[in-house]
Chains A and B, each alone.
Chain A
């Protein structure tokens, strides 16, 4: 009886182990499937012109399909738009986000800082589609039109909480002795922050910025209501503009352009992958 029971318990234990291994491994299946599909279907679409030419019109694409030729054009308008809007959003979000993060790390006990901290969580958890609506109301309506500015404000609002959190967390894990040593040498708090603490936290903050960029670069919904999209390569910031994820959405909805989906997705995935690997590498060199 006893040994029978023991055998049963051991069998259950083994079963659990194998179950955990099996189901955990199964989680990798969708990743491989998604990456595989995007790579296999996308890699032969990548060419020089894919990166230098704007999206073809549906008519041109249709003609090419009828003639049995590959669709002309590429996603240059989207790449320019993404870079322009991300660039603007990053330039503003990084200094503001870092200063907010510094404020939170330095005043963690004050009531106001706790409110700011809570609001950071709130904003970070807000669905991106809602950010899109709000920026539409804030920027698109008063400016009477969709624009790159509106798009970059949306990206800015989404990046801000991510940068604040990573800055705050990196500063908080620095040893207190670092700040004390700086102050003991007679530096004031601002200077110690600027010359000692922030440089020490640089890697963590930089990683945070990279991850924030990689998080928002694929955002589609908020840009639909703010940047709208455009088939021209544009550098002006007050007109509608395209972005890589917006193009994917357009291609998805336009039967004539569906051949461009996978190339655009592959580009987006590779960019995100690169940012993540870079972030991981920087983190690895630090600790």
Chain B
């Protein structure tokens, strides 16, 4: 094979990515069009009505956008007190030790468990605990879903944060130690400020993960279509309403679900892009 042919072949194969991604956007936009045309793009986003009575169909995405944002933000809040210590443990305190390798493996394994098994565990183990603690009568809901979601995103947040914490130059840390700082003070005044933007971006990417998680949330959020009014309320996220209703939907409802899919796609795409750009910046700095 001569070099020219080889290069052309590679180029042609690489064309698959624009084709696939273009196809994704095209399919979502054309099939979501009906819903946007019928309800109006803005009203679709801000309406909290979801009823499929024939003849008076009303679909709006607001309860599900709210559900997604609530589960994601709560998951982030629950995740930080664990992922940050893991990152410090692996990247600073026990850096390069055997015990840190063990913890990394544990966290890697957490990332490997399929979402449906997290859902099972949440349903059969965590939900009864929530009920026993009288937090919510049915056990399912936004809180339960976010708790499990938090565990699922720990690996994404912690492994990348640890990488940035490890990149803080030893010179700088020794500089601070030589002025009489304790380890805590070095972490707070040198490690966090220097690795901060990288750590922050790893949480942005973890948010990107949590936004689209489907099965776990579907199994735990309680699947109601009303606006959630508290964190213990049941609800639906964008992903879970799709998982629940896509199979049985047609016509305007199908189009509305696809429209929700398009919105979810756009939100995750933007969050991921922001995260990636921040990471690139943090790596160069």
Judge if B18 is at the interface, Cβ distance under 8 Å: yes
Is B28 touching A134 in the complex (CB atoms < 8 A)? yes
Residues of chain A from 89 to 131 with CB closer than 8 A to chain B in the complex: 96, 99-100, 102-104, 106-107, 112-113, 115-116, 118-123, 125-131
Q: How far is the CA of A193 from the CA of B90 in the complex (A)?
A: 36
Residues of chain B from 118 to 155 with CB closer than 8 A to chain A in the complex: 118-121, 123-125, 151, 154
Q: How far is the CA of A115 from the CA of B123 in the complex (A)?
A: 41
Q: For A100, what are the chain B residues with a Cβ–Cβ distance below 8 Å?
A: 13-14, 16-17
Is A102 touching B215 in the complex (CB atoms < 8 A)? no
Is B214 touching A189 in the complex (CB atoms < 8 A)? no
Judge if B117 is at the interface, Cβ distance under 8 Å: yes
Q: Which residue of B lies closest to A194 (CB)?
A: B1
Q: For A126, what are the chain B residues with a Cβ–Cβ distance below 8 Å?
A: 24, 212, 265, 268-269
With A125-B269, A188-B3 as contacts: A34 and B113 at CB distance below 8 Å: yes
Q: Which residue of A lies closest to B208 (CB)?
A: A125
Q: Which of B31, B107, B243, B276 contacts A137 (CB 8 A)?
A: B31
- Mask, B99-124, CB within 8 Å of A = 1, is 00001001111101111111111011
* Interface SS, B side: helix
Is A138 touching B23 in the complex (CB atoms < 8 A)? yes
Q: Which of A113, A130, A131 contacts B14 (CB 8 A)?
A: A113
Q: How far is the CA of A119 from the CA of B273 in the complex (A)?
A: 10
Is B261 touching A130 in the complex (CB atoms < 8 A)? yes
Is B9 touching A99 in the complex (CB atoms < 8 A)? yes
Judge if A21 is at the interface, Cβ distance under 8 Å: yes
Between B6, B18, B103, the greatest number of chain A beta carbons within 10 A of the residue's beta carbon is seen for B6
Judge if A272 is at the interface, Cβ distance under 8 Å: yes
Is B121 touching A34 in the complex (CB atoms < 8 A)? yes
Is B120 touching A24 in the complex (CB atoms < 8 A)? no
* Interface SS, A side: helix
Judge if A26 is at the interface, Cβ distance under 8 Å: yes
Q: Which residue of A lies closest to B123 (CB)?
A: A252
Of B38-46, B59-67, B177-185, B227-235, the stretch lying at the interface with chain A is: B177-185
Distance in angstroms from B67 CB to nearest chain A CB is 14
Judge if B224 is at the interface, Cβ distance under 8 Å: no
- Mask, A1-32, CB within 8 Å of B = 1, is 00000000110110011011111101110110
Q: For B18, what are the chain A residues with a Cβ–Cβ distance below 8 Å?
A: 115-116, 119
Is B117 touching A19 in the complex (CB atoms < 8 A)? no
Judge if B199 is at the interface, Cβ distance under 8 Å: no
Q: For A218, what are the chain B residues with a Cβ–Cβ distance below 8 Å?
A: 113-117
Is B10 touching A13 in the complex (CB atoms < 8 A)? no
Q: Which of A24, A103, A115 contacts B89 (CB 8 A)?
A: A24
Judge if B88 is at the interface, Cβ distance under 8 Å: yes
Q: For A272, what are the chain B residues with a Cβ–Cβ distance below 8 Å?
A: 112-114
- Mask, B54-92, CB within 8 Å of A = 1, is 000000000000000000000000000111111011100
Is B113 touching A269 in the complex (CB atoms < 8 A)? yes
Distance in angstroms from A105 CB to nearest chain B CB is 10
Q: How far is the CA of A21 from the CA of B125 in the complex (A)?
A: 25
Is B184 touching A13 in the complex (CB atoms < 8 A)? yes
The 9 A-B pairs of least Cβ separation, nearest first, read A127-B212, A218-B114, A190-B6, A23-B85, A125-B272, A24-B89, A13-B182, A99-B13, A103-B10
